[in-house]
Structure 1
Amino acid sequence: MDNGNEARKRPRPVVSCLRCRDKKLRCDRSIPCTNCAKVNIASDCVYNSQGIQSARKQQRTISPENDNADMSSFISKSDGVSRFQGPGIVEAIQSRLSQVEDLDIQRRLCRIEEHLYINKPSAIQHSNLCQYQHSAGKASPRSSTPGGAPPDFLGTLVVKGSKSRYHGQNDRITLLNQFPEAKKFIDSCADEPVIRNLANEVEYLQQRVLETAYPKKRLSGVESAASFALKSLRRNLPPRAICDNLVEGYKLSFETSMRILHIPTFERQYRTFWKCPDLEPSEQSAFIPQLTAILAISFAIDQGHTIMDPAIGSYLETDALDLVSTWVEALEKKERIEMSTLQTETLLLLSRHFRNLSYDKLWRVSGSLVRSAMLMGLHLPPHAFSEISVFQAEMRKRLWMTIVEMDLQASMAAGMQSIIPDLDFTLHIPQNLNDSDFDEMSTELPPAKPLHENTSSLAQVTLAMSLPQRLKVTSLVTRTTPEMDLVKAVVEGRRLEEFLRHIPAPLKVEQALEHYLPALLNTVMLDMFIRRPLLCLYRPLLLEDRPDDLSFMEIQQVCLESSLRILEYQNDFNPCTSNLNLPNIESYWNVFQICFRSDCLRAALNVCQSIKSAPSNSQMTSPPTLPAMRVGIPSYSHPSSPQSQFATSGLAQVVENLLEGLEQRIGEPESELKDNYFLSVVLQSVRTRGPSQKKMPLLHEAAKNTLQACKNRLLQSLPPEPPRRQSIPRPMMLEQVQLPHPQASIPTCSAQIQPMQPLPYAYPPMTHVDQWGMVSTELDPYSQYQQMGMFNSSDGNVSLYDTWGL
C-alpha cells in the first residue's frame, strides 16, 4: 500500500466463483466448489469469464494420465460440446447467447462456456464429487440449506431403520408441520400411558366393528395370502447345491450395471438360512422370496446346465415368479416400505424381463416400480437426513439408480416416455467402491476409488454419470421430427458419443473379450444402455434426405457405425459366428437375444437405409470387418472420405448374417416371424436398383425363401412323428358282417359302410406350385392360415394387414 493512487496487482489470477468472492470465502476452484456444495447450491456455482481464461492458461500444462481417467472430467463439462475446441468458440457461443431470450437457456449456455475452459484433472474432480455427495451425511433436512430455509422437496420423509415412507405435500403428516406446537404434543403422546392405552382400545373396537359389519372383508385374509405364498416358496426351493451354483451365476452376470444387493450382507443371510433351514417361513419372510427371484434370474443363463431336474426348471420359469408376485402384493403397507421388499420387487421385474415380457407390459411394471421407490423417498438425496445410516444411504443410491435405469430402458424399448421426475441426479451417483469396503456398521465411507480402477460398482457409476444426458436426449426424442434443427440434435448426440468414448478401460468390450462371457455381457449391456438414446435421437432424422447438410451427413455416419457395432455384438454371442470357444455360450446367446433383439433389428434397418442412400455407381472400400471400430467411435469425417465408406456388398452381408441368426431362433419364445419377413423384404428392396415393376418378382422370391427357410427350420425342430395307423384295404358290405347268433337277423340294406380313411401324412408332399412358388390350397397342410387372412389362395400374396395387425 505504498502508493494509494495505483491499484495493487494480485499475485495470482482471480478464479474464485462469484459466490465465494461475494461472501469473501476461500474457494477451492472446483466445480462445484466445496462452499457451494455444502449449502446445496451447486447449480449456482459459476465463474466469470476473466477467471475462466486465467484458469485455462493454468490448465494448459496439465494433461491426463490416460483416456480412462477422463470420464469424470468429462462429466464436469458435459454441458459443453467437447468437439468445439479451437479458435472462435467464445465468439460463436456469445453470438448465440445474444439471440436467446429465455433466461434459463442463457444460464445453461454460460455454463457451457465456463466448462469448455476449465478442465481439472479427473481424479480431483471425482474426489470432489464424492466428497460433495456424502459430506452432509449427518445433516438434518433443515441444516443442509442456508439460513434454515426449507428443503427443496415439499413432503416429509419418515425413516425407521430399514423402513422409509415419503409423505407428499398434501399428506396429513406434512400438513402437521405448519403447526409446530400441535406436532410436538402429538409426538409426545407416545409417552403418555393414558392416551396411548385409550388409543389402543379405540383401534381394537374399530377392528371389531369392521369385522362385524363387513364379515367378508376379514383383515386376516391378506396375511393368509402372504403366508400361503411364503410356505409354497419355501416348500419348492431347490436343493442347496443347485442354489449355490445359481446364486454364483447371478453375482457374476447381473450384479454389475444393475446393483440391487449388498453381496456380503446377502451372503451372510444366505449362510444363516441354510444353517437353520427348518425354521418357520415367517421368520425368514423377506429372504425366501428374494432368493427365489435371484434363482429365477440366474436360470435364464443356466438353461439346464446346473439343473438336471426338469420340474425344478419349470418351477423357476413359471410358478416361482407368480408366487413371489403374490407375496409382494399381499404384504401389509408397513412391510411394503421395507428396503428388502423393494429389492425383491426390483429382482422380480428383472426376472420377468428374461421371461419375454412384452415391452408395453415391461414399461407399465417399471413405472409402478418407480412409484414404489418414490413412496419410500429414494428420489430424495439421502445425505439430507440424519436418520439414514451411511450404509443405507449408499444402498438407496444404488437401488434408485437401478430402478431409474430399468424404467429408462423399458421406455425406449416401448417407445414411450419415462416417468422419471426432473431431478439433480448428481446427488444420487454411487461411489466407486467394492461391497467389501463398507457394511452396516460403517460410520463413514472410505474414499472412492479412481475410475480407472475396476470395482463391483464401476459399471453403475459410469451409467449414473451419463444418466442426466441420456434423460435429456430421451425427452428430446419425443419431440423429434424430420424437420427439426439438426444442429441441436448433433450437439446432444456428440455428448453421448463422448460418454461412449470415455468408458473406463476395465469396461471396454476389447478387455472383456479376453476374459469370460459374464464380463462380455456386462460390457455390452453398458455400451448398449448408453448407445440406445443416441440411435433413438438420430433415427427419425434420417427420414428426410438432406445431402448437402453436414450435420445430416454426420448423423448418417454415426448411425451406420453404431448399427454395425451392435450387429458385431450379436456375432460375438452367436455360437455359429463367434470366435469365442467358451462353454455355455448358447445360454448367453439367449440372454442377448432377449435383451437386444429389437436393437439388432433396428440396427439392420439402419444399415439398409445406408445401402439405399449409397450412390448406385459408387465403388466403396472393403467390407466392414469392424475390429478397428471397437477402439471407439471415430471422429467425424465427411462421408465422401474413403475411411468413412463401406462396401455395399459388405453391408448387405452383415444384414444377411442377422437374418440367419433370426432364422436359427425361429422356434424360440422371443422370436417373431414378422422380423424375418420384414427384414428380408427390406434388404431385397434396397439392394435392387431399378423400377418397382422389376423389383416385385424379386421381393416375392425373397419373401418366399424366408418363409420356406423358417418352415424348414421348424420342421427340423419337431420330434419324429409316430408310425401311421394301417387303413382297411377295401370296403366291407353290411351283409358280410358275422352275427353272433345264427337266429339273429337284421334288415338287409344295400348301403355300404364307408371304409376308414387312412390318416394323412403329417406333412404331405407338395407337388403343385403356382407362379410365385406357393402351394395350392388342396395340397397345403397349412391352408388354415388362409382363413386367417395370412395367405391369399388366388395369387399366394401375403396379407400382413389382416393377420399381423399392420
Structure 2
Amino acid sequence: MDHGKSPASTNSFQGPVYNFIASSRSVKRPRPVKSCLECRKRKLKCDRASPCSQCQKTQRECRYAAEGEAVSLSDGSDAEGSERTTKRNRPAPTPGSGPRDNDYVSMLEDHAARLERLERQLLSRASSIADSGGAPTQRPAASSLTLRGLSVKGGLRTRFFGQNSTRVLVNLFDEAKSFMINRNKYSDIRELLQNIQRIHKALQDEHRKVTAPIAVFVDSMTPIQKRMADVLPSRQVCDTLLNIFLTGTETLYRILHIPTFMRQYTEFWAGNPQPDSFLPQLLPILCVGYRLVGAGKGHGHDREGIHIPTATCLVRTWLDGLRGKQLVEFSTLQAELLHLMAQRMINPQNQETWTQLGLIVRMAMTMGLHRDPSEYAQKISPFWAEQRRRIWYTILEFDVHMSMQCNLPCCIREDDFTCRPPRNINDDEIYPEMVELPPSKPIDQHTSTRIQVFVASTLPMRFKVVDVINRTDSLQDYQQVLELGNELERVFDDLRYIATPVQSNDPKETQRRWIRRTAMDMHCRRPLLELYRPFALSSADVPQQIVTGYLRSSMMLLSYLDEVDPSASNYHELWHIHQLIFKQEILQAAFSICYYIKQATNSSASPAPSNLESTGRSESTEDSYTLASESSSLLSLPRLKNAVQKVIDNQCKRIREIGTDLRDVVALTVVFHTCQGGTPEQQREAIRNGLQAILDAGLQAVHANQVNIPSIPVRKPNLLPPSILLTIRQ
C-alpha cells in the first residue's frame, strides 16, 4: 500500500490546520489605559493616584490621557485587533497557487503593518509630550574636572584619581580653590599654612619611621616560621585581638571556618605542630584586631600588641617563597586575603590594593572558585564546597569595593562566574566529614554568615553601578541611573526590617549589633553614593530624585554613631572603628554637603523662579537643592553645617591621637568656610580659626611646640606650601 501523499494533498491539509490555529486565537477587547502618561512612557508601575507616587518622587507633572485621545487605548485594542484578525485569518492558499510566494507576501504585509503601528505610537507619544509642556530627557552632562584627575610629575610619573579623591572634589569649589592657590594671602593665613606644612612633614617623617619593619626580624637568617612566632604577643593579648577580628571583620568577609581555626589555635598554644599556613593566617588577624581596638597607631612593638609592619612583611616573605602546588592551596588563598586586609591597616592606598587584588582574583580563578563546585565531575565535599563559595564572594566584595573607591573597572564582571552564594547557616553546623549541607535559614534569622548572604544578594546591582560610573560619558539619559537608584532604595527597606537597631545592656552585644548593621548598610549605601555623585554634584539638569537621594545618604553615613549612646563605655572604641574604616567616605560626604550648602546659600540669596512648583524639572541646580532642603528636615541648612563642623572636629581629634594626614582637613576647612557666604573678612576670620585648630592638634600629635619643629625652606614666602597644593588638581 502506498502511504505517500501528493503535494496537492499536503497543501490542502495545511490550510485547514492554519485556519484552525488562527481562529482559535482570541482578539483582545478594548482596554482603556489607567496609568498616567509618564509611567506608561517609562514603563513604571503606576498607583493611579493623582498625582501618582512615581511622578511625585521625580517631580514630574502627572497627566492622564483624556477620553478618546489616541493614547487612551492599550496596544491590544480593537483598532489593531481587526488588522491582526484579518491577517491571521487570511484564507489558506489553494493548491498550485504558490504557497511559498503567498507566505512571503503575507510576511511582508505583516511587517508593514507593524511598522505603521509603531509610527502611530511614536507620533502620539511625541504629541502628548508637546501638549504637557515637557521636553525629552537630555543627555547627562558631568564635567570631567569633577569626575577624574591625573597627577603628572616630570611627564613620566603619573597617578590616576577618581571622583572620590579630595583633589577632584576641591574642583567643585572655585572660590576655595582660588583662595588656596592665591599668592597674595594675608600674613597671618600664610604663616598658619607654613606652620601646618612643617607639622605635616614632621608627622610624615614619623609615620615612615614607625611603619618600617624591624630589621632584626626581617633580615635574619632564622627560618621564617621561627621569626613569625617570635613577633607574637602573649596568649592573653592574642585571645583579645582574635576575638576583636572575629567580631568586627569575620562577618561580611568570610575567610575562615571559625571552629576549625579555633581548634588549630588551641593546639598551637598547647605546643602541638600546626600546618605551615597557620602563622601566616594568625599574624594578619592579630594585626587587624590590634588596629581596630584603637590602641594608638597599631605600630608599637610590645607584649601588649603586635608590630604590624614587621608582621605583614614576614607574611609577605612567606607568601613570596611558595612554589608549585603551594600556590593553589586553599590555605594560601586565605593567607593572601588576610595579608591584604592587614596591609591596608598601615598603608590604605586604594590603587595599590586594587592592583594586588587583581592577582588574588586570578589566583582564585585558576583554582576554579569562579565556577560552582557542583559543575565539576570530581566530587567536592559539601563542607569544602561551602567554604569555596564563602571565600569567592568575599573576593567579589573586595573587588566591587576597591573598584568603586578607585573609580576603576572591576576585575570580574557579572557574567564571569557561576558560583552560587553561600547558605545562611552557622559555622558550627558544618564540618569536613559531613555528607549534606543543612538547609539555609531565613534571612531574618541571625547566623555567622547572614551579613554575607544578604550583601551577596545585592551584588548584581552593585556590579551594574560600577559599570555605569565607569562609562558615565556614554550615558544617553538618566533612566538607568534612576532605575538602579530605586532598586538600591528598596534594599534599604529590607535592611531596616532584618537589622533593626536594638539596644542591649551588654556593651559587647551592642558593639556587635552596631557593627553588623553598619556593615550591611554601608555596603549598600556606598554604591548609591557612587552612582549619584557624578550627577548630583555637577549636572545642571539632574532629576530631583538624584539630588535628594544623594544628600540624604551622605547625611545617613555621618549619622551611624547616633545610634550609640555617647556615655557608653565602648563609645570611643566604636568611634575609632567608624573613623578608621569610613574615613574616605566621611570626607566625601562632608565635601558633598559643603557643595549643597553652597548651592542652597546661593539660591536663598537670589529670588526663586515663579514657576518652580509647576514644572516637573527644576530650572537650575540651586533650585534642586532648595527643593531638597524643603523636602526633609534631615537636609536643613543648620543641621548640615553642624554635620560638617562635627566632621572637622573629629578629624582634629584624630590628628591629636594618631597624627593622621593634615591635607584633607585643611582643604575641607577652607571649603566649608567659603561655601557659607558672608563678607571676605568674615570668611578669612573663620578660615584662620579653623587652621589654628588644625595647627594646635598637630602640635599635640608631635608632642612638641612650634620651635622644635624642623624648619622647611620655602623658596618664596608668599607661595602656598607644596603639600597644600597637593589637594588641588594640577
Shorter-chain TM-score bucket reads 0.5 to 0.7
Question: Residues 801, 565 of structure 1: CA spacing in aligned structure 2 closer, same or farther, 3 A cutoff?
Answer: closer
- Residue among 9, 26, 45 paired with 1:84: 45
| Structure 1 residues 243 and 336: alpha-carbon distance in aligned structure 2, compared to 1, 3 A threshold | same
Tell me, yes or no, if the aligned pair for 1:476 and 1:537 is still in contact at 8 Å: yes
Deviations 1:413-434 (A, max 9, x none): 2222221133376742111111
C-alpha contact 2:655 2:662 (8 A) present in aligned 1: yes
CA pair 522-562 structure 1, distance change in 2 beyond 3 A:
same
Q: What SS does the aligned partner of 1:450 have?
A: coil
Cα offset, 1:272, TM superposition = 2.3
The Cα offsets for residues 659-705 of structure 1, whole Å up to 9 and x where unpaired, read as: 1111111245573222212212222222105xxxx44x444333332
Which of these residues, 436, 448, 459, is aligned with residue 444 of structure 1? 436
Partner of 1:616: 604
Structure 1 pair 394–409 and aligned structure 2 pair: CA distance change class (3 A): same
Would the aligned equivalents of 1:363 and 1:407 in 2 still touch at CA under 8 Å?
Answer: yes
Per the alignment, residue 712 of structure 1 pairs with: 696
Q: Which amino acid aligns with 1:86?
A: D
Aligned to 2:348: 357
Q: Give the residue type in structure 1 aligned to 2:717.
A: S
Are 1:523 and 2:509 an aligned pair?
A: no
Aligned counterparts of 1:455 and 1:322: Cα–Cα separation in 2? 34
In the alignment, is residue 387 of structure 1 matched against residue 379 of structure 2? yes
Aligned to 2:96: none
Aligned pair in 2 of structure 1 residues 541, 401: CA closer, same or farther (>3 Å)? same
In the other structure, the counterpart of 1:371 is: 362
Larger RCO (CA within 8 A; separation ≥ 6): 2
Give me the identity figure in percent: 30
Partners of 1:706 and 1:82 lie apart in 2 by 51
Q: Is 1:233 matched up with 2:254?
A: no
Distance across 2 between alignment mates of 1:716 and 1:509: 37
What does residue 495 of structure 1 align with? Answer: 487
Find the residue that maps to 2:458 and give its secondary structure: helix
User: 2 CA distance for matches of 1:252 and 1:800?
Assistant: 38
Secondary structure of the structure 2 residue equivalent to 1:518: helix
Whichever residue aligns with residue 593 of structure 1, its letter is Q
TM-fit CA distance, 1:372: 1.4
The one of 516, 529, 537 aligned to 2:531? 537
Show structure 1 runs of 5+ residues with no match. 1-6, 8-49, 54-80, 96-223, 573-577, 621-635, 722-761, 765-780
Aligned twin of 1:588: 574
Instruction: Tell whether 2:326 aligns with 1:332.
Output: no
1:152-191 → structure 2 map (5 Å cutoff)? none
Residue 570 (structure 1) shift:
5.0
- Cα distance 1:260–1:799, how it changes in 2: closer, same or farther (>3 A)? closer
Aligned length: 510
**Higher mean C-alpha displacement, 367-376 vs 708-717:** 708-717
Give the Cα separation in 1 of the matches to 2:44 and 2:519.
26
Residues of 2 paired with 1:247 and 1:682: CA distance? 41
**1:54-133 alignment, distance < 5 Å:** 84-86=45-47
Question: What is the CA deviation profile of residues 355-389 of structure 1, one whole-angstrom value per residue up to 9, with x for unaligned ones?
Answer: 24211112112222112111211111111124211
Q: What is the deviation of 1:475?
A: 0.8
1:458 paired residue among 450, 459, 483? 450
Match of 1:579 among 559, 562, 565: 565
Task: Measure, in 1, the Cα distance between the counterparts of 2:626 and 2:450.
Answer: 32
Task: Go from structure 1 to structure 2 and tell me whether the alpha carbon gap of 1:358 and 1:312 turns closer, same or farther (over 3 Å shift).
Answer: farther
CA pair 504-701 structure 1, distance change in 2 beyond 3 A: closer
Note the C-alpha offset of 1:302: 2.9
Query: For the Cα contact (< 8 Å) 1:680–1:703, is it kept in 2?
Result: yes
| 5+ long unaligned stretches in structure 2 | 1-19, 21-27, 32-41, 55-70, 76-218, 609-624
Higher helix share: 2
In 2, the alpha carbon distance for the partners of 1:439 and 1:392 equals 9
Structure-1 residue corresponding to 2:4: none
Q: Which residue of 1 aligns with 2:717?
A: 793
Q: 1:304 to 1:534 in 2, by over 3 A?
A: closer
Aligned amino acid, residue 530 of structure 2: C
- The equivalent residue for 1:684 is 673
- Kindly indicate whether the alpha-carbon contact (under 8 Å) linking 1:225 and 1:330 is maintained by their aligned counterparts in 2: no
Query: What is residue 593 of structure 2 aligned with on the other side?
Result: 607
SS in 1 for 2:254: coil
Q: Aligned residue for 2:104? A: none
User: 1:432 and 2:432 equivalent?
Assistant: no
Answer yes or no: is 1:480 the counterpart of 2:476.
no
- C-alpha distance in 1, partners of 2:491/2:278? 37
Please state whether the residue corresponding to 2:655 is helix, strand or coil.
coil
Deviation by residue 1:304-336 (Cα, 9 ceiling, x = unmatched): 49x999424564322111111111111122112
Cα separation, 2, equivalents of 1:438 and 1:470:
30
Q: 1:673–1:308: structure 2 CA closer, same or farther, 3 Å change rule?
A: closer
Tell me the secondary structure at the aligned position of residue 519 of structure 1: helix
- Is 1:288 matched with 2:279? yes
Closer, same or farther: CA 641–784 of 1 in aligned 2, 3 Å: closer
Inter-partner Cα distance in structure 1 for 2:299 and 2:481 = 52
Q: Distance in 2 between matches of 1:375 and 1:285?
A: 22
Please give the per-residue CA displacement for 1:532-576, whole angstroms capped at 9, x wherever unaligned.
111111111024454xx6x6111110011101101112566xxxx
The correspondence of residues 656-805 of structure 1 with structure 2, limited to 5 A, is 656-667=645-656, 671-688=660-677, 694-695=679-680, 697-719=681-703, 763=706, 784-785=711-712, 787=714, 793-794=717-718, 802=725
Q: Which amino acid aligns with 1:231?
A: K
Q: Distance in 2 between matches of 1:468 and 1:242?
A: 40
Aligned AA for 1:399? Answer: I
Of 558, 572, 584, the match for 1:598: 584
Asked if the contact 1:477/1:537 (under 8 Å) is kept, the reply is yes
Q: Distance in 1 between matches of 2:349 and 2:450?
A: 30
1:506, CA displacement in angstroms? Answer: 4.4
In structure 1, distance between residues paired with 2:249 and 2:544: 38
> More displaced, 437-446 or 700-709?
700-709
Amino acid at match of 2:444: H
What letter is aligned with 1:258?
Answer: Y
In structure 2, distance between residues paired with 1:292 and 1:802: 38
The answer (yes or no) to whether the contact 2:281–2:335 under 8 Å persists in 1 is yes
User: Deviation of residue 644 (structure 1)?
Assistant: 6.2
Secondary structure of residue in 2 paired with 1:391: helix
**Counterparts of 1:302 and 1:601 in 2: how far apart (Å)?**
22
CA change 1:82–1:661 in 2 (3 A) is: farther
**Offset, 1:785:** 4.2
Distance, in Å, in 1 between the alignment partners of 2:403 and 2:653 is 28
3-state SS of the aligned residue for 2:346?
coil
Pick the aligned partner of 2:402 from 410, 432, 455: 410
* Matched letter for residue 359 of structure 2: S
**Closer, same or farther: CA 700–527 of 1 in aligned 2, 3 Å:** same
Q: Which residue is 1:255 aligned to?
A: 250
Instruction: Give 1:793 deviation, angstroms.
Output: 2.6
Q: 1:320 to 1:537 in 2, by over 3 A?
A: same
Alpha-carbon distance between aligned partners in 1 of 2:527 and 2:220, rounded to the nearest angstrom = 42
Distance 1:619 1:661, change over 3 A: farther
Q: Report the AA paired with residue 420 of structure 2.
A: H
Mapped contact 2:443–2:498 kept (Cα < 8 A): no
Deviation, structure 1 residue 462: 0.7
Q: Structure 1's 763 and 452: CA in aligned 2 closer, same or farther, altered over 3 A?
A: closer
Q: Deviations over 1:79-113 (max 9, x none)?
A: xx997343599x99x99xxxxxxxxxxxxxxxxxx
Query: After superposition, what is the alpha-carbon deviation per residue over 1:756-780, rounded to whole angstroms, capped at 9, x for unaligned?
Result: xxxxxx546xxxxxxxxxxxxxxxx
Does residue 264 (structure 1) correspond to residue 259 (structure 2)? The answer is: yes
Q: Cα offset for 1:586?
A: 3.0
Q: Which amino acid aligns with 1:358?
A: Q
Kept in 2, the 8 Å contact 1:225–1:327? The answer is: no
AA aligned opposite 1:323: L
Q: 1:512·1:520 contact (CA, 8 Å) conserved in 2?
A: no
